[in-house]
Amino acid sequence: MIFSILPEEVESGRGANPPLGLLYIAAAIRKFGRDEVEIIDAQAQDLDDAALERRIIAAKPHVVGVTALSFTMPDVMAVCAMAKKTGAMTVLGGPHAHIYPEETARLEKVDYVLGGEGEYSFSALLDSIRENDTPGDVPGVAWTENGKTYRGPEPDCIDSLDDIPFPARDMLDVHRYTSVLARTSPITTMMSSRGCPFRCIFCDRPHLGRKFRARSAAGVVDEMEQCLRLGIREFLLYDDNFATDHKRAMMITEEILRRDLRVIFDVRLRVTDLDDELAVALRRAGCDRVHLGVESGDPDILEGLRKGITIDDAIRAFGCARRAGILTLAYFLIGSPGETPDTVGRTIDLARRLKPDYVHFSLLIPFPGTDLYKLGIERNMWDGDPWLEFARSPRAGFEPPVWEENFSRAELVKLTSEAYRTFYRDPAYLWRRLRRVRNVGEALRQMKTGLRILRI
């Protein structure tokens, strides 16, 4: 992997989440395709390179599909090299492959790239490979042949999410997945909707599209019931915004209550979408935590990020959660355009004023494909186009660009670490957290993470 947006002490204690994208595709292959499928999660299964290669060789695959994130591209290419030793064909999907399809398709050891959502297109590509046909009709596909790169039609968003089978969680050991924030284990990630209609300048989930599409309340709760049968009762809902459709969010809580499910879950929300009615409904249904993106304590920075929120919106949202008895996680960015020592100070001050149960300070990285990155290119913030160059030749040790307008990279990293120290070492915060711990397991998980943060 390459440089992370989080301090290593924080990154190492987060736990492991199931590979939701691969689980969706595996489920779709089982339902719509004609192929046998196996999933390897090297991170959760603690596989080093040698062990992973042995697993791939033992599987004798015809096709190896790999999720391609920009941060993991050096590892992705290593996996492709392992796969080619077995004679397998390689297919890369995910956000990096979606943004740079042609560059990725030209990489050695890569046979095909799939952009967009892969539940239907991956099975279609497997059919073309099996029949030895040209995959030109497969949406989102790209490949290189005889030095020339070809692309299929642009991928469309999947409108009817209820038609997609639930992720194939039964194919992995569910007990390997935990979260430092969770009350219990195992946990799982889950999505009740896809796409975000908002236009934050730093957004980095392009493969899911801008178009908001939602699953039915009944379908969402059906999936929860299936997970309960696997021994999972805690859910991290990874929607961009769970309450883009406020009515549907309320319907999900009502359906959970109607079925009398004993579940714990968390959701991600815009601060403008959380009110007292929704907060109370979420808490009654089992919502333990809400994740709220605030990003900055400076109004001008927020405007530049195109967040569409105000400081007062954030204060109201955190108040709603607190009154309902829901834990809060506040997200902030360090290093936005226009950032100064004063704006960083205002961000830290707001974090303390909101009194969240957890806070997440991230160094802002202009990810490829985002409007922020395009703005940086226009302003000649960096030498050339660093992400494009990386896409053409992924390498370990690559340092993603940061917004070095008023600070150097080293200064931004230091500011991010200082923000964590200032917040988490505050005696008032430590006392609030001690009062909220409910069981021994939670206490141990938080003690481990706390010790890591104290080492920042």
Q: Does pLDDT of 105 surpass 50?
A: yes
Retrieve residue 254's tokens.
């009502």
Q: What integer is the mean pLDDT of 410-436?
A: 87
Q: Does pLDDT of 15 surpass 90?
A: no
Superfamily of domain 18-151: Cobalamin-binding domain (3.40.50.280)
Q: What integer is the mean pLDDT of 221-232?
A: 98
Domains 18-151 and 177-365+402-454 share a fold: no
Retrieve residue 406's tokens.
């008023």
Retrieve residue 370's tokens.
């985002």
pLDDT at residue number 355: 95
Band the pLDDT of 449: cuts 50, 70, 90. Answer: low
Percentage of the chain exceeding pLDDT 90 = 84
pLDDT in tens, 318-364: 999 999 999 999 999 999 999 999 999 999 999 999 999 999 999 99
Q: Does pLDDT of 69 surpass 70?
A: yes
pLDDT at residue number 382: 96
pLDDT at residue number 14: 61
pLDDT at residue number 3: 46
Identify which has the larger pLDDT, 369 or 314: 314
* 362 bridge partner residues: 333
Retrieve residue 278's tokens.
């929704």
Q: Does pLDDT of 266 surpass 60?
A: yes
pLDDT at residue number 4: 47
The secondary structure of the chain, three-state, reads CCCCCCCHHHHCCCCCCCCHHHHHHHHHHHHHCCCCCCCCCCCCCCCCHHHHHHHHHHHCCCEEEEECCHHHHHHHHHHHHHHHHCCCEEEEECHHHHHCHHHHHCCCCCCEEECCCCCCHHHHHHHHHHCCCCCCCCCCEEEEECCEEEECCCCCCCCCHHHCCCCCHHHCCHHHCCCCCCCCCCEEEECCEECCCCCCCCCCCHHHCCCCEECCHHHHHHHHHHHHHCCCCEEEECCCCCCCCHHHHHHHHHHHHHCCCCCEEEEEECHHHCCHHHHHHHHHHCEEEEEEEEECCCHHHHHHHCCCCCHHHHHHHHHHHHHHCCEEEEEEEECCCCCCHHHHHHHHHHHHHHCCCEEEEEECCCCCCCHHHHHHHHCCCCCCCHHHHHHHCCCCCCCCCCCCCCCCHHHHHHHHHHHHHHHHCCHHHHHHHHHHCCCHHHHHHHHHHHHHHHCC
CA nearest to 112, candidates 77, 150, 75 = 150
Q: What integer is the mean pLDDT of 252-257?
A: 98
pLDDT at residue number 191: 97
Q: Does pLDDT of 157 surpass 60?
A: yes
Q: Does pLDDT of 239 surpass 70?
A: yes
pLDDT in tens, 400-409: 999 999 999 9
- Cis peptide bond N-terminal to 153, omega within 30: no
pLDDT at residue number 430: 78
pLDDT at residue number 190: 98
Q: Does pLDDT of 179 surpass 70?
A: yes
Q: What integer is the mean pLDDT of 358-377?
A: 95
Q: Does pLDDT of 160 surpass 90?
A: yes
CATH of 177-365+402-454, one of 3.80.30.20, 3.40.640.10, 3.90.850.10, 3.30.9.10: 3.80.30.20
Q: Does pLDDT of 9 surpass 70?
A: no
Q: Where are the domains of the chain?
A: 18-151, 177-365+402-454
